[in-house]
Amino acid sequence: MMPHNSAMERYHRQIILPEIGIEGQKKLGDSTVFVQAQSVESCALLLFYLAAAGMGTLYCDFAEKQGLASLIRQIGAFNSGVKIQAVQPGCENLPGDTGVGVIQGSLQYVAQPAVDCSGKCIPLILAANRGWQGWLQFIKRPDDLRAILFKRGPQPPRGYNMPDDGTESVFSSNLLGALVAVEVVKILLSLENSAAYGLEFDLSTMRFERYKGSKACPASIAHPCITSGTPGLFPGLITTADTQQLAQSRVAVVGSGGLGSPALYTLAKAGVGTIALVDYDQVDISNLNRQILHSETRLGLPKVDSAEVFLRQLNPAVNLVKHNTCLTEENAREIISTFDLVVDCVDNLKTRYLVNEACALLNKPLVEAGVNGFEGIATTIMAAHSACYQCLFPARPSLDYNSKYGPQGILGPVAGVLGTIQGCEACKCLTKKGNPLLNSILAYDGMEAQFEIFRTEKDPNCPICAKR
């Protein structure tokens, strides 16, 4: 049976992707995914993106269940076509048609459930994180589990407690959630290179390493005691003083859609004090394959109003400034001038150049990203010190790209990957921690599960930033 008209409209931006199509979308709708996670909070983004992609059934088991009822209600309002329910602990309670199993949390949490689930839930995706770092691994054979988790050492006894300081980061857990959602889609649709690679990353240094086959979890995640730094929410990089800095910071996010949703989610969750929502559009059903801040219950609302509802539930302390307007040459500088940093999440090129110019003239840091299909790019710009958007892409479009070519296909969680990176980059700039993507373009290929960084240079003849 083909998807009905409302589903066709909702998933249109996925269906037009040749890798998915109508039959692929129907297959996703018939699929069952099991998610076992350390806490509701740590895997909320994963569940939203699985629901956005159109998974039929989500079975969940959480060690820490605080917020579960609220999350189930939110996802139900977001996508009424997705069935989500909590199950009793233990993989023996799962239905026989479970297509993919996901286990996410600290390595201490991930290890034992993975061993228990290995014979029941194949394929199985393991996702562990600590601080800025994360590790994603597909498990094809149950016999590989103990060797991978315990670095090919002696087999630990059941119930072994691996050292863990209990710290986690909204950055690494959100990025893992989006990355895992991409891999789940690939596995269920038997796409090329599905689950052929593992991935580890460090968002502080923007190091991403893809590897083929199985590999032990990085020591920095497996044994947190060897990682130097101050314990806390973001070990070694963001201190109490830095969290206070975030609380005092003002960030303008231009666009509350595919990229804006995960960027805003990350910024609000990280504790940025004041966030501006700049968007002129209204919520449409076709937005909901990727724009997780919105829902079926808020169709027709201005996106800034819809986003406000979600973000206030996420962080009641955040101060939201709404600009329900299109950014123009007449108002761009006025709106941006009162903020410390700008995150550009728009989907048209003309606005990108406009935001870049305004930020250069006002000397405001700018975090850029773009997505298409299974791919995306991100960069951070400080016009006085780095290449600006005009340097990177000197040929300005004479016509709006979307007007000429129409909407482009996009897999929702791919936007989640790039938007989360934007939020992380913004917080790094605000706290002056880590290595932001200055004079660098980060390129993500979701089909290959691969990140690459391309170095860039400031154009000495750039009409926007050459004299900065």
pLDDT in tens, 147-161: 565 553 334 434 434
pLDDT in tens, 167-206: 457 899 999 999 999 999 999 999 866 555 788 899 989 9
Predicted confidence band of residue 103 (pLDDT cuts 50, 70, 90): confident
Euclidean distance between CA atoms 163 and 315, whole angstroms: 31
pLDDT at 451 exceeding the cut of 80: yes
- State the average pLDDT over residues 402-417: 80
CA atoms within 13 A on the CB side of 376: 30
The DSSP symbol for 465 reads T
Torsion of the alpha carbons at 39, 45, 51 and 53, rounded to the nearest 10: -140
What tokens appear for 124 in the block? 């199985």
What tokens appear for 136 in the block? 């994603």
CB 124 within 8 A of CB 103: yes
316 Cβ neighbours under 8 A, 6+ residues apart: none
Euclidean distance between CA atoms 392 and 44, whole angstroms: 35
pLDDT at 315 exceeding the cut of 60: yes
Q: Which residue has the higher pLDDT, 235 or 102?
A: 102
What tokens appear for 231 in the block? 């314990």
Least confident of 85-89, 343-347, 357-361: 85-89
Predicted confidence band of residue 394 (pLDDT cuts 50, 70, 90): confident
- State the average pLDDT over residues 101-130: 73
Q: What is the pLDDT of residue 420?
A: 97
pLDDT in tens, 18-60: 999 999 999 999 999 999 888 898 899 999 999 999 999 999 8
pLDDT at 373 exceeding the cut of 80: yes
Percent of the chain with pLDDT over 90: 57
223 Cβ neighbours under 8 A, 6+ residues apart: 162, 163
- Whose CA is closest to 164, among 90, 103, 230, 105? 105
- Whose CA is closest to 244, among 431, 434, 436, 429? 431
Q: What is the pLDDT of residue 196?
A: 59
* CB neighbour burial string for 217-244, b if at least 16 within 10 angstroms, e if fewer: bbebbbbbeebeeeebbbbbbbbeebbe
Euclidean distance between CA atoms 457 and 364, whole angstroms: 19
- Whose CA is closest to 183, among 374, 18, 421, 467? 374
User: pTM above the 0.85 mark?
Assistant: yes
Identify the structural domains of the chain with CATH numbers, from first to last: 31-226 (3.40.50.720), 240-455 (3.40.50.720)
Euclidean distance between CA atoms 129 and 134, whole angstroms: 4
Q: What is the pLDDT of residue 11?
A: 95
Please give the sequence-ordered ranges of beta strands (E in DSSP) within 203-316, or none if there are none. 207-212, 250-254, 274-278
Phi, psi dihedral angles at 323 (to 5 degrees): -125, 95
pLDDT at 385 exceeding the cut of 90: no
Give residue 152's region: left, alpha or beta (phi > 0; psi -120 to 50): left
Euclidean distance between CA atoms 386 and 255, whole angstroms: 24
